[in-house]
Amino acid sequence: MSGPGDPPEGTPEGASGGGEDEFRSVVFDESFVRAARIQEFSARERQDDAARPVRVRHALPGGLARQAAALILLIVLAFGFAIYMGVRHPYTAHDGGSGEPLRVSVVPLVPTGTVRAVSPADPFAGTQAAGFGRGVDGLALPADVHGVGGYTADEVMAGYETAQQFLGDTGLRKQTVTGGDIRLVQDLLEPRQADLFADSLSAPAADGVHEVTGWLVRFDTDRRSGVSLVGDDIRVQGSFAAAESAGGLLQIVADHTYVYAVRAAADPDGPVSLFTVRRRLTFHYDHDQLRQGHVEVVQADVTAGPLACGAQVQSSFLPILAGRSAPGGVSPADPYDHDRPPGAVCAPLADPATAAAPQAGPRPDPTSTPGLASPAVAPRWPEPSRSL
């Protein structure tokens, strides 16, 4: 006799007698249902003649979907933050060099009398410039080069050579000094300074930064009122000195005097006179600039003459020529005159055609600054043994 919970007679033992008894050990909890790959249509969907009674689920499970959405949002936020910091980063990246602006001082040297004429055939005879080097030979480098601070002897020599090339391109190339092609100068300059140099050429100003004549020697060659160079012989002499700057950069100071023979551009057979330019340039280099062959000019102290005391020297030089004198002589500096810039000064010029032979003196201290009233012709230091 069978009890109420026993299976019906005739049913094999172990076989389920009811539809639910077959899945009694399976638990269909909520997570199992949500993870199912198929889903039965609702009654309304079935009434709408659905082609199939069930749909295949393609969406990720709820937990994974939320994690994926959070990950995508995090990536988008990180990408946006990176773009924002790239545009509005509060710090400036160090791009080499000292970052110092160029400081320029250009002082006209005024003749105290009439400018003397010299021989057109040999304009430097009997002058201090007679013993100067011709062209690049006058830019001789030191014979004995040592490492300086954190810079090796090879790096110091590279700095010397780059400075030498800059001095030649800016003071000895006729194309440069007569207002011609200056691309070689631009190529040598550190990229940031190349932009400042271009600004100076396009808009020269007597502001201690944008004087073209601080960067290079340039004459006013206007055919009616300017000058022309006589011959191809330019004399130059001076020295180089190396040190380490306070900022740990290689500092090279080049102090050279250039002497040019000039005459009026409108009179190709007219009298010839000499024009003298002393340039004391300070260069800074870091290791990258030395490898790349770039130069950074941080200071240019220039004295040039014969010029009028009130000459506009920010763009070019217009020499006082043979047989002429400076109008008004050397103007006094009035500290109470606020209509005149405090840097607008001039100094008397010793006659280079009659000056005595210079005496040997010490090489310049690369960390010092020369006075504004420096002589037009630099002292003649002992001839270096190294030449180009």
Which of 16-20, 52-56, 166-170, 289-293 shows the lowest per-residue confidence on average (mean pLDDT)?
Answer: 16-20
CA 118/CA 127 separation, integer angstroms: 10
pLDDT tens by residue, 12-66? 554 555 555 565 566 656 665 665 555 666 666 666 655 566 655 555 555 666 7
pLDDT single digits (tens) 329-386 = 776 777 787 776 665 688 898 765 533 333 333 444 544 433 333 333 333 333 333 3
Gap between the Cα atoms of 241 and 141, Å rounded:
9
CA dist., res. 237 & res. 231, Å (int): 19
Ranked by mean pLDDT, the top range of 30-44, 84-98, 111-125 is: 111-125
Token couple for 275: 């024009």
> How much is the pLDDT for 6?
55
Identify the residue with better confidence: 43 or 322.
Answer: 322
Strands (E), 38-99: 38-40, 54-56
Where does the pLDDT of residue 77 fall: very low under 50, low under 70, confident under 90, or very high at 90 and above? confident
Average pLDDT of span 238-246: 94
Residue 49 region by backbone torsions, left for phi larger than 0, else alpha for psi between -120 and 50, else beta: left
Q: How far apart are CA 222 and CA 179, in angstroms?
A: 10
Q: Model-level pTM? A: 0.67
* 341 C-beta neighbours (distance < 10 Å), count: 11
Whole-number pLDDT of residue 78: 80
Judge whether residue 105 has pLDDT over 90: yes
